[in-house]
Each structure stands twice: as C-alpha cells, then as structure tokens.
Amino acid sequence: MSGWRRLAEGLAGYLWPAPDPCPGCGRPGRRPAGPGRLCRLCLQRLPLLAPPFCRRCGKPLRLQAALQAECRDCAARDRDFRVARAAGLYDGELRRLLHRFKFRRERRLAAPLGALLAEAWGRHAELHGGELLVPVPLAPERLADRGFNQAADLARVLGQAVHRPVAEDALLRQGGGAAQSRRSAAGRAAVGGAFHPLHPAEVSGRQVVLVDDVLTTGATAEACALALLRSGALSVDVLTVATTVVTDWWRVATETRLGRLRLAAVKEGSPMELRNCIRCGKVFMYVSKRVCPACLKEMDEIFERVRAYVKAHPGATVLEIADALEIEEQLVNEFVREGRFDVVTEAITVFCERCGKPIHRGRLCEQCAVELDKEIRSALPKKPEEPAPTKEREQHRLYLADHIVDKRGDSR
C-alpha cells in the first residue's frame, strides 16, 4: 500500500509541481505574488519608495517639505547626474536582501532585485529615454574578493526586462574608490579621476542610465556620471534598488503608517515589554537596546568592517566611510557618538549637535556640555533655604535627644 502511495505522490508531483521556494524567505509552497517570484509576505515587508521625494536625487522628503521638490543637499549644489531614482528605502527586508546578495554571494537574488529595478523603471517616465545601461564598476581588489559585480548582475536583469543594451565594461574603477561628498570643483575632478571610460565611442551621443544597488551619499554616482559626460554622453540618470536617508524621521513615519505599535505582555506576574525593532520591525523582548538581537549582531559586524576601513584609511570622514562601505551615514555617526573608536588611533570626526565644532565622540563638545549643564541647573526649581538654627531650637533638639536616651535606658 505504501508503494502505491509513493507512486501516487510522485505522479501528483509530476503533474502539479509545487512552486519554487520564495527567494526572499526561502519557504516552499508559497505562491509568488511579486517581482522575481517573491511571495506576498516578503513583498509586503519591502519598504518601497513613494512620493514625495527629491526630484533630483530621489531621496524621500518630509511631507512638510514636499513643496520644495528638492532636498537640502541638491538645493545647495549641482549634481553631475540629471536625476536619480530608487525602488525602495535601504531598510528592513530590502536591506537584508541586498546584504545577502552582496556579502553572502547569493547571486540568485539578482532576479527579484532586478525585477524591482524594472518596476521602478516603469513608474518613472523620466528614465524611459535611457538608451544604454551602465553598471557602476567595482574596484579591482573588491571585485577579486567578492568574485562578481552586483551592479552588473542587476543591470543584466534590468536590460532584459526593459529591452536596453548593457555596457558592462564602459567604465573602469581604479584605487579604493573612497569618494567625497560636498566637495569643491577641484575635489570633484580628483574623485572623478578614479573612473575611466574604456570605450568612449560606446557611450558617446547616448542617454545613459547608471545602475547600482544602493545610493548613499551620491558621490560615487556623480563621479561615474562625470566620467561618462566627459566621454560624450548626452545625459546620465541613476537607478538603484535602494536609497538611504541620513535622518531617522522616515522610520518613524513608516512605522506609524504600518501600525507598528509597542506591545506589553505579563508573564508570571512580572512585566515583559515587547517592542518592534527599529531596524527590521520584528517584535522582540526589550531589555536595553532598541534593536533585536539579530540586528544587533549585524550592527556589530558592520562596525568591524568600519573599524578595519578606518585603520586602512586614516583620516577618513564619515561620508567617505559610508560611501566606500555602502552603509548609512547615520550608522557611522552612531558608532562614533557611542565612543566605540579609539580617539588617538581611530579618530573619526563628527560635529557637535549644538555649535557644529568637530568632535571625536559624544554628541556635544566640552564647552557646550558645560553650558547645557548650567542651563539645566538654572531651569530647575530652587530648594527653599532652611532657616538658620536659633538658640531655642538648639535647646529643643538637645532636650529631645536626651529624652530618647532616657527612654532607651528605661527599656533596658
């Protein structure tokens, strides 16, 4: 009987094969509902980007600043690319997928991530004029270490979806590629010199779309765009899977929109507080950190990468570190303000949140900390002064003391 059952199960599996496991969560049997065969649950977890966002760099804007149309960085200086757009925010499930794709070398994730790029392409009509896709190249040492260029894998998937050719060897990157943001014209030319066109005729006279996985400070994208424009490209647009945000206001707005609330539970009469992790959104038992154990482990791994980079590149700024390691600028700032680096050998400069002076740890410089302490002390209500002791009060105190001694002696 068992033989007939195995035969029936095998025939049913051949006639009605089970769907492939979701590339996001890996669970089998889930019906694909999103791009790249992602299941419905993984699709709902993706922090996809929606208006309002900056019309130049594509980073999300506050609702109050939507009428400005540009973020502060783009309003303060010109960009070398025309526009930049992203499929989602570098956060939560999308960040984990990108980390698995790049650092764990799960190249099969190029399909769902490339499909997200194709959907973003369809939503943004300003990209439709692009005639050629150019992936951002990796530095030779990083390419040798990783074994593949994630931007090239994404560009190939996007090219097949939107029917555009891909020029994988259009640019060559030399050196470590640590770019700078908010630079002068001379500094911009120096950074742009890290990228060299290998086949200028391939991009000359064409509208180019630069493809990458994450847009952090935008310095690398600008350096590539500058090299392409010097090669004769008519315009350069940027399309990435995700984009970062310097401040954490977006996370608050997202959690409010998704209805993520702190939960409280009681176990055996003692309160046990459950919270949502501020990085991934999962519920965990809160002790002292606002992130779950898994994200805390991930942050420790990122810190070790940052520390190794600082030792290899003394004097690197926060923006350079964030751009080179493709992480959030805010995360590097948190590491510095927590005092994780040695002030002498691993000094990284951040700025006082009150006066803007350069500091190497904490949030305030020494002078502002002293001034703030004085202001807080002056704002506190003053304690009423106790009246000076009089002769009568002193005699009464001595009388009470003697009375207490007498009482104790009687009790014995």
What pLDDT was estimated at residue 87? 94
What pLDDT was estimated at residue 93? 85
Strand partners, 36: none
What pLDDT was estimated at residue 265? 39
237 and 82 in contact (C-beta within 8 Å)? yes
Q: What is the pTM of this model?
A: 0.62
Residues near 219 by beta carbon (within 8 Å), at least 6 away in sequence: 179, 180, 181, 183, 191, 319, 323
346 and 353 in contact (C-beta within 8 Å)? no
Strand blocks (E) in 174-290: 195-197, 207-215, 235-243, 263-267, 270-276, 283-285
Q: What is the CATH number of domain 48-243?
A: 3.40.50.2020
What does the DSSP assignment read for 5-70? Answer: HHHHHHHHHHHSPPPPPPTTT--TTPPB-SGGG-BHHHHHHS-B--SSB-TTT--B--GGGGGG-S
Q: Which of 166, 210, 37 is nearest to 109 (CA)?
A: 37
Residues near 187 by beta carbon (within 8 Å), at least 6 away in sequence: 180
What pLDDT was estimated at residue 256? 42
Q: Where are the domains of the chain?
A: 18-43, 48-243, 249-348
Give residue 258's Cα distance to chain centre.
19
Count other C-beta atoms under 10 Å from residue 255's C-beta: 15
183 and 191 in contact (C-beta within 8 Å)? yes
Q: Give the strand order in the sheet containing 132-135.
A: 84-89, 235-243, 207-215, 132-135
Q: Which of 128, 105, 109 is nearest to 118 (CA)?
A: 128
Residue 36 Ramachandran class (φ > 0 left, ψ -120 to 50 alpha, else beta): left
Q: Which of 330, 321, 229, 235 is nearest to 279 (CA)?
A: 330
Query: Tens-digit pLDDT profile for the chain (412 aa)?
Result: 456 666 665 665 555 555 667 787 777 655 555 556 787 778 878 888 888 888 899 988 875 455 567 888 888 888 999 999 999 998 888 988 998 898 888 998 999 999 999 999 999 999 999 999 999 998 888 888 888 999 999 999 999 999 999 999 999 988 654 433 344 434 444 455 588 898 899 999 999 999 999 998 888 899 999 999 999 999 999 999 999 875 444 444 444 444 444 433 333 444 456 777 777 667 777 766 777 888 888 888 888 888 888 888 877 777 778 777 777 777 887 887 777 776 545 567 677 777 777 777 677 778 887 887 787 777 777 666 666 666 666 666 665 666 565 555 554 4
